[in-house]
Structure 1
Amino acid sequence: MTSLDYAQMFRLDGRHAVVVGCGGIGSEIAAGLAAQGARVTCLDKDLAAAEQTRASLPHSQTREHTAYPVDVLDPAPLGRLAEELGDVDVLVLTAAVNVRKRLLDYTAEEFDRVVSLNLRATFDVVRAFAPRMVKRGSGSVVALTSIRAVTVEPGQGVYAATKAGVMQLVRTWAAELGPAGVRVNAVAPGVVETPLTQQIRDDEAWGRAYAEKSALGRWARPEEMVGAVCWLASDAASFVTGSQVMVDGGWTAVDGRFTPPFS
């Protein structure tokens, strides 16, 4: 007989989940984790955004959900907060930035800004939270990458490089932390309807081309990212680590190309 309770394997009751980046998709992920029974801590540089997400979450049966401001680019206070929060069962990283420019037009400052938040901060956040998971012998880390980790277009080079880099960190962490019982995976969204993609959707040709690129012929909604994250966080994915789950409507399975405008 299996030791896994199929009726409960997606549940997160009694577990502490930390979501880093609580706007847009991060807010929906926090809601999904809470709905599965997790106690959620919302972390964001914008405390108002973190508090707004926390206030919207369904009540936890263990302890109250919490929210804290955190600058993931400042590792010292990040480390102190990780210690203050204590044991964390699930860590989800969503914070990222993109500067849409051709590589030859990039400035050094823009390059550093994208690499610092998308790649270095991912490294620092996991470095802050993973040691307690290792010591305890369990934990699930889920990083949001992107379809740009595997396929690019003009103007997305630096962002794509950081997302591919995050995936290589995920694979390495999976190898290094797996013996301690810690799983590390990624969810790669396709094009999602968020405020950050409004510029694209405001351009009719660009928005339509993105919609038609996927096998499903449309943009994703933020809540459609939640299921994959909750699955990876749960016992249902107990033998899944080092993987990148594509939640892209078939984008990376279908051929096609569109060169977007840059101004």
Structure 2
Amino acid sequence: MWDIRMNNYDNNNTARRYVGYVSQLGTTQLHLRNPIIIAWWSIAYPGFGHLLLSKYLRGMALFIWEMVINLNAHLNEAIIYTFIGDFEQAKAVLDTRWLMLYLPTYFFATWDSYRTAVDMNKITLLAQREKHRFNSFVLGAFEINYLDKRNPITALLWSFIMPGLGQLYIHRIVLAGFILIWMVVITYYSHFVEGLNYIFMGEIQKATEVFNKEWLLFLPSIYGFSMYDAYVNTVENNKLYIREQRYYLQETYQHPSFRVRKE
């Protein structure tokens, strides 16, 4: 028979583990992840791996740390010189005092995101096995949030238009706000919009001159992460919606004596 604990609709720690939690600020859930993919995103930009795991405080701290240390060490500038084969200039612009602070935390971010993904996969399997009911609707003074099915491609496209909008579409308010704020900062200091206008007018040389390449190099990472995060979490939220519906229908309508026949 269905466990009586399934009657608990609020995630108030009366059950041991839940697979999902719906709040005014977003939907948080446990689902299986590839630890290598999580670690790869931490390599691409420290903090991204933790943000994918919904470890927001740790992920945001590592993101800001990367921004501060990278700019002071002139790491992006050195990478640009490396791309054009000017290795001597790349070595000249690097500030080793800041660079030595960069490496330990960079390796920690990669290792910790991988380790956390492995641990959370174990917890996910246990939570799915325990099958405790979780809340699917919240109505508050500031927001309404609920589980429903949404289009992953739509989330991806909104993130392509502007990183953070895909997260807003699937109600990841905290992460959406964080990404949007940093997109404004990066876009402003990189002169991205100004350079893009010159490109549209066919003035490639002016665009090259106006771009701040050190800041511009942050954009591919944040664009790629935002699109990936929006798509994956839309898919997983849809699965969570189906899971919650199945739990409800089994508890409400399925006869207690019903058993699936094994062939």
Provide the TM-score with structure 1 as the length reference.
0.26
Between the two structures, name the one with larger relative contact order (CA 8 Å, sep ≥ 6).
2
Query: Of Structure 1 and Structure 2, which has the larger fraction of its residues in helix?
Result: 2
Provide the TM-score with structure 2 as the length reference.
0.26
Query: Of Structure 1 and Structure 2, which has the larger fraction of its residues in strand?
Result: 1
